[in-house]
A and B are shown apart, each in its own frame.
Chain A
Amino acid sequence: MRVRFWGVRGSLPVPGASTERYGGNTSCVEITSAAGTRIIIDGGTGIRRLGKELMRAEFESGKGQAHILISHTHWDHIQGLPFFAPFYREGNRLFVYARQRDDQNLRSVFASQADAPFFPVSFDSTRASVAFRELHDGVKFEIEDMLVSTTRLNHPHIATAYAVAADGARVAYIADTAPFSDILFGQEFLSGPSSSRSHLSRTDKAKLKAMAQAVVRLCEGADLVIYDTMYTADEYRQFPHFGHSRPSDAITVCGEAGAKTLALFHHAPDRSDAEVDAMLAGARGHAGPLCKHLEIVAAFEGLDFTLGKV
């Protein structure tokens, strides 16, 4: 199994000299099995370059097939999709997966991104065959030779975590999520950090505990865990209501799950390369005494892992 990072940033793309090394594109990760099955998690701006790369091979002649798993539909996870070239070639087959919602049909969410007055090419005019599949929390399913597991995350409007197993290896993608301790996120707008653990009802505390346990199960024995670690401890104190975690939260989950490698992911837009370096050093220092065998890296564009059988 091969895992490749095409976009590692959160919130919005940040071009510029200070983000050159880790990269400024928003979230997109590609996972391919030894047999050639292709899963793409999230369609931030990083998916544009992946699309260009795919068009060098079978997608150019309309014979490509890929499965796109969407964690949630906040802009930084879907804004690259209209620029994903394989959509515009007849014959390509693309499958888009995301959490089922009561209020909106998945296809219409994506179609509205390409509507006038926002984008010149309507979703109906994409030439590839595109099928949507709506997922229930916790569902497991097979995509060819790959087994996909899901669980709900703690994020405004709710996000889905994915684990993909194939070739004797397992990778988990946990983004976007807040820690499972202070706020239980749902549909409502939170204007400030006012909601704290002391305000949580017993039921909410129980829900968060169950959510955390399910995330640990999803990461159990994973060769690689990709985790939303957008915030430093200080930033988290200021913005707990935006729904993102700290490296220490990811380390706790990885420790309990016995994961082998943690990739810090979804870097804040104003985090310079030097600051990501510092965050990585801090995370390694924090993890050292807690989980000796956990290796930690900070995800960057172009980072590539080969896991299990190839």
Chain B
Amino acid sequence: MEVTFWGVRGSIPSPGPATVRYGGNTSCVSVRLDDGEIIMIDCGTGARNFGISLLAGVFGKGSGSATVLLSHAHWDHIQGFPFFGPFYVPGNRFTIVGGSRSSELLERVLERQMAAQFFPVQSYRNMGAQLEMRAVSEDREVRVGAAKITAHPNPHGPTQVLAYRIEADGQTLVYASDVGYHKSGPSQETVDIYHGADLLIHDCTFTPEDHAQRIARGLSSLDDAVDAAVKAQVKRLALFHYDQDYSDHDVDELVRRGRRQLDERGARHITILGAAEGLTLTL
């Protein structure tokens, strides 16, 4: 299983010299399974570059297929959707999985972004590829080739967000962005979903100090990410979804603090890293 980060930022893309190393694009992660299956998790502006890389292969010829998992529909997780090149090549097939109450609702949400007043293509049906919408509220388990995918609702301020656990090739990847745990920390169900992951990609929007000022946003601090990783006994933790104002230097500092906290909690065996655009991890 190969995991690549295309966008690691939260809220809004933040171009500029201060974010060049970790990257300023909003959330997008790709997963390539050993059997060649492709899964894209979230569709922030990072999806544009992922799309460009896919067009060099079968997706450029209209014979590609992939699954897109959406955690939720806040802009920073869907704003790359209209700019994902493979959607414009007839013949390509995609299944879009998201947490709406019904597939029709999911379709309507994505369609609103494409509407004429906002985007010239006017409808995803004008894009060319075949897109099938699939809501996962009732059906929390999805099969993609040999992969078993479980969707789990986490709290995100007044709303919910889906975390995804992907088990394939004898490895487990968990993606948990935009989560604001209750004061008591992650629920037992949440810990179970993360449990034993070879890689946990976890929301780390804020330092603990900034987080204290912005609890209502429903996002995680470094403390939350470390706590979830320790409780779920994961092997590797990737910090993700950094605040738009954090410079590369600030993210370096988050990773250093995270390392110290893990050590202090006796979790020296957990590896920690800061997710960065272009980074590929082979599990």
| Chain A residues proximal to chain B, CB less than 8 Å | 11-17, 19-20, 23-25, 45, 48, 73-75, 78-80, 82-83, 101, 104, 109, 112, 116-120, 156-157, 187, 189, 191, 242-243, 269-270, 301
Interface of B is mostly: loop
Closest Cβ–Cβ distance, residue A126 to chain B (whole Å):
16
**Contact, CB under 8 Å: B15 / A117:** no
Contacts of B56 in A (CB 8 A): none
Q: Can you list 12 A-B pairs, Cβ within 8 angstroms, ordered by A? A: A15-B9, A15-B13, A17-B20, A20-B16, A25-B15, A75-B118, A75-B119, A117-B74, A118-B73, A120-B157, A156-B116, A269-B48
In angstroms, Cα B10 to Cα A83, docked, is 12
**Contact, CB under 8 Å: B15 / A19:** yes
Residues B63-82 near A (CB distance < 8 A) = 72-75, 78-80, 82
**Contact, CB under 8 Å: B24 / A16:** yes
Answer whether residue B103 sits at the interface, using C-beta atoms and an 8 A cutoff. Answer: no
In angstroms, Cα B126 to Cα A128, docked, is 38
Per-residue interface assignment for chain B, residues 15 to 34, with 1 indicating a CB less than 8 Å from any chain A CB and 0 otherwise: 11101100111000000000
**Contact, CB under 8 Å: A189 / B15:** no
**B16 contact from A24, A118, A270, Cβ within 8 A:** A24
Residues B43-89 near A (CB distance < 8 A) = 45, 48, 52, 72-75, 78-80, 82-83
In angstroms, Cα B120 to Cα A104, docked, is 16
In angstroms, Cα B120 to Cα A187, docked, is 9
**Contact, CB under 8 Å: B117 / A73:** yes
**Contact, CB under 8 Å: B109 / A15:** no
Given contacts A74-B119, A75-B113, A120-B217, 12 further A-B contacts (CB under 8 A): A15-B16, A20-B20, A24-B15, A117-B72, A117-B109, A117-B159, A119-B75, A156-B116, A189-B116, A189-B120, A243-B120, A301-B16
In angstroms, Cα B120 to Cα A20, docked, is 27
Closest Cβ–Cβ distance, residue B123 to chain A (whole Å):
8
**Contact, CB under 8 Å: A83 / B12:** yes
Answer whether residue B268 sits at the interface, using C-beta atoms and an 8 A cutoff. Answer: no
**Contact, CB under 8 Å: A16 / B13:** no
Contacts of B249 in A (CB 8 A): none
In angstroms, Cα B9 to Cα A16, docked, is 12
Contacts of B13 in A (CB 8 A): 12-15, 24-25, 45
Closest Cβ–Cβ distance, residue B134 to chain A (whole Å):
17
Contacts of A242 in B (CB 8 A): 120
**Contact, CB under 8 Å: B118 / A73:** yes
Closest to B49 in A: A16
**Contact, CB under 8 Å: B15 / A16:** yes
In angstroms, Cα B114 to Cα A156, docked, is 13
**A119 contact from B23, B74, B82, B119, Cβ within 8 A:** B74
Contacts of B48 in A (CB 8 A): 12, 14, 269
Contacts of A73 in B (CB 8 A): 117-118
Answer whether residue B247 sits at the interface, using C-beta atoms and an 8 A cutoff. Answer: no
